[in-house]
Amino acid sequence: MKTVCAKEKAFLIAAAFLLCGALFLACGPTVVRQSFTKKECLDCHKKFSDQYFPMKYVHAVTKEKKCEQCHLRHGIVPRLILKKDGNEVCYACHSREKIGVNKANVHTVLTRGKCTTCHNPHASQASHLLKAEGPELCYQCHKKESYEKKTVHKVLTTGGCKACHLSHASDEKNLLVKASIPLCISCHDPGKGTFKKAHGGYPVETSSCSLCHNPHSSAQPKLLKTSSHKPVAEAGCGDCHNPAASPKPFGTTEKGSALCYQCHDEKGLKAGGVEHEPFRKGACLSCHNPHGSENPALLSGEGNRLCIGCHKGKGEKVAKPHAAATGGKGCLSCHRPHAAKNPKLLLSKEGDLCFSCHTKAKAAKTAKVRHDPFMEDSCTSCHNPHGSNFEGMFRARMDEVCYSCHAEAEGKFVKANTHKPVANAQCNACHDVHGAGEKNLLKSVPPALCSNCHGDLMKKEEGGSSHDPFAGGECLACHDAHGSNVAGMIVNTQDKVCAECHSELGKEIKEGKSGHAPVLKGECTKCHSPHKAKLEKLLLAGSPDMCLNCHKDLKAKFDREKVHSPARRDCLRCHKPHVSPESPLLTAPVRTLCGECHDLKAGSFRKAHFFIEASAMNCVSCHTPHASTDPKFFKEVTHPPFASRSCGECHVAGEKQ
């Protein structure tokens, strides 16, 4: 009984807690739950909606507002993000097989992944979502003037391009709806008398109509090609072919060039002696179409493209093309097509041909000094007449071209220190390649020649000093114009170059007891400018600044210790700059030098030196001549008795006088 009562009591307590909790929640603050509503694409892209939805043809996915079938959502950043690249997004619905991309001939825009070149992916006023109606769509890529000449194929005006061509792909070339011959005779009945009469009774329905006719439009009547062989234009097929009723009506009455020479002047065409190889072999059809062509003179290719078919290398793109080869008549600007009197089928001799355009260059023939190949009219010795990747249409780098004749020069010029124009293959920086008024084809002589590049260096230094050869414009007295294994491109080591003029210095070095390290090493430019300076004697800086550039230990002492007055003012007060009979480079013996400032006989001096005779002393044995922490310039490390001025402990003092 007690157990039952206890359970009831626990139940009542739990129920009371639940009731209180419910009341608390009911009376507490109301929580508002935030809800989000998905916005549709057109809620933002209203202009898109206004532009495309009223159009006659709307893409199904656009009409159904299934933007995400092609696009990824982009949020607030307005970017076009397609689910797949290029045509791949189209192939998701429009299968490749249905479009025909697996066929032998596919429309170029399809192979480049550009469905949108022809189609608007959203909507259009034209069927199939095309961007334009009829031929105008095709004229986006195909030149309109080629299809609207004087005589236009009737089917083009009535049925448009699609009458003969498929839009996407075809098993036939040129995207034709069927093979060319069946396509043509589907409209032009070869059995009709008018057809037979127009073609001289020849069974032309067995051959391609486009051999003679342009399938789109022509400036000629009957859609004949722009350049039509006279027998074709006059329906005189029998001039070249067997009779129409013969077993082989399209066989020719003669073989090869013999057929052509029935009308064309063989002697006149062969005049000259040098013949074009196909022409020599009688292979006229290598270059000409026997019936008709859209190119002049029945040529089977357009301009230079025909020539490049055999001469492959001449078709490569180059940085410096020859204007004569790329413009105007192209190859025929310089060459004859059949035969010529000159090598390489040139219209005239090499020099005459080049000078017919390059008249300014020809003027160099009157120059005082002339380049041999130029005078020999051998322009192609240096230049590529078809174009080049090098400035001036040179055959190779200019230095390589020059070294091909001046072989010995390469070894002389290419050194450890090479003149920049030589290193950069710019021989024409100093030399005129055709003719000049100076020796060695120089454009001018130093210093004028050198100042073209070194103009700032060669300006006169006002109030300073200039090296005589430099001031006199004798640059080549010291420098090699092309290159040298010595720094500064000088003709020899510095000591030898300088000694050519300053010979007295060499004698002093031999006789001197001590020499300045830069002088002994032949490093004159450590202290002197070889050209000009703001200071006398071409010094790079004054004393002591210049000296302290090398003697850095002294500079450090000067900065932290008491400096000897002469050393502070001028090193040359005590030292010679090059060589000296005294060491180290002193201008006089130590005692003599010190005696110029210090009176060695004065009582104060004698007392300070314990009356020791000056002649018995060496000043630098006790004193440092440059700087010291001691007021009397004593050396940093001294003998203890000396430091305490107890000289008598070791020496016998002199007698006072």
Domain map (residue ranges) of the chain: 54-153
Burial (CB count <10 Å: 0-12, 13-18, 19+), residue 401: buried
Identify the band that residue 460 occupies on the pLDDT scale cut at 50, 70 and 90: confident
Between residues 358 and 23, which one has the greater pLDDT? 358
Contact by Cβ (8 Å): 119, 131: yes
Residue 367, amino acid: A
- Is the pLDDT confidence value at 18 over 80? no
Question: What is the reported pLDDT for 21?
Answer: 55
Q: What's the residue count for the chain?
A: 657
Backbone angles phi, psi at 289, to 5 degrees: -95, 130
- Is the pLDDT confidence value at 657 over 60? no
For 125, residues 6+ apart whose C-beta sits below 8 A from its C-beta are: 55, 56, 57
Please give the mean pLDDT across all residues of the chain: 91
Identify the band that residue 42 occupies on the pLDDT scale cut at 50, 70 and 90: confident
Half-sphere exposure of 622 (CA within 13 A, CB side): 16
Contact by Cβ (8 Å): 55, 124: yes
Q: Where would I find the H helices in 81-207?
A: 88-91, 96-99, 108-111, 135-138, 154-158, 180-185, 193-198
Between residues 560 and 645, which one has the greater pLDDT? 560
d(CA 414, CA 557): 46
Provide the β-strand partners of residue 130: 119
Name the DSSP class of 32. P
pTM of the full structure: 0.73
Q: Tell me what the mean pLDDT of segment 263-292 comes to.
A: 94
Q: Tell me what the mean pLDDT of segment 269-279 comes to.
A: 92
**How open is the CA angle 155-161-164, to the nearest 5 degrees?**
70
Distances (CA, A) of 331 to 176, 292, 340, 463: 35, 22, 14, 64
Report residue 329 CA to chain centroid gap.
30
d(CA 78, CA 72): 11
Q: Report the range of poorest mean pLDDT among 223-232, 310-319, 384-393, 647-656.
A: 647-656
Contact by Cβ (8 Å): 494, 524: yes
